[in-house]
């Protein structure tokens, strides 16, 4: 005998479930606080101001993809490599700060949204787009 169940979504929402978003934000705050306090003793990390704009969680909350961007995008690859070297320590600190059944594995990536926004802005200010906009106004 089957019960009347709501049909399950075939795809996850664009940003993930509410729980994924909430846990991602908690982990983002924990990592940003570690970087602000200077808890990570690595010369590369200590020499840069690092922004953590987003953390995306896997559906099972066991993998956290941390997007980072050093100030002005300077030495981005070196910063990501330094964070990868220190991710074991950071994972332990996140486990103490965020109350989860399992401490998520951390993966670090460069956040390229700023570069993409700049590229789109340049396209919108190009003479070809301005010419097309003038034609639409007439």
State residue 134's pLDDT score: 77
Judged against a pLDDT cut of 90, whether residue 60 lies above it is answered with: yes
pLDDT interval class at 7 (50, 70, 90): very low
- Stronger pLDDT, 5 or 51, i.e. the higher one: 51
pLDDT of residue 113: 81
Rounded CA separation 102/98 (Å): 10
Please compute, for residue 9, the number of CA atoms within 13 A of its CA located in the half-sphere on the CB side. Answer: 6
pLDDT tens per residue across span 99-133: 888 999 999 999 888 778 888 888 888 888 777 77
Percent of all residues in the chain with a pLDDT value above 70, rounded to a whole number? 86
Question: Is a pLDDT exceeding 80 seen at residue 138?
Answer: no
In this model, does residue 29 exceed pLDDT 90?
Answer: yes
Mean pLDDT computed over every residue of the chain: 85
Rounded (10°) CA dihedral 124, 129, 130, 135: -140
Q: 18-111, what's its fold?
A: GMP Synthetase; Chain A, domain 3 (3.30.300)
Confidence of residue 74 (pLDDT cuts 50, 70, 90): confident
């Amino acid at each position: 005998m089957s019960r009347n169940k709501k049909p399950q979504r075939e795809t996850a929402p664009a940003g993930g479930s509410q729980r994924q978003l909430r846990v991602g934000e908690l982990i983002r705050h924990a990592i940003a606080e570690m970087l602000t306090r200077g808890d990570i003793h690595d010369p590369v990390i200590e020499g840069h101001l690092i922004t953590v704009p987003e953390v995306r969680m896997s559906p099972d909350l066991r993998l956290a993809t941390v997007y980072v961007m050093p100030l002005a995008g300077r030495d981005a690859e070196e910063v990501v490599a330094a964070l990868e070297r220190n991710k074991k320590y950071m994972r332990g600190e996140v486990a103490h700060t965020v109350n989860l059944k399992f401490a998520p594995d951390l993966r670090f990536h460069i956040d390229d949204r700023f570069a993409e926004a700049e590229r789109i802005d340049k396209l919108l200010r190009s003479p070809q787009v301005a010419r097309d906009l003038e034609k639409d106004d007439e």
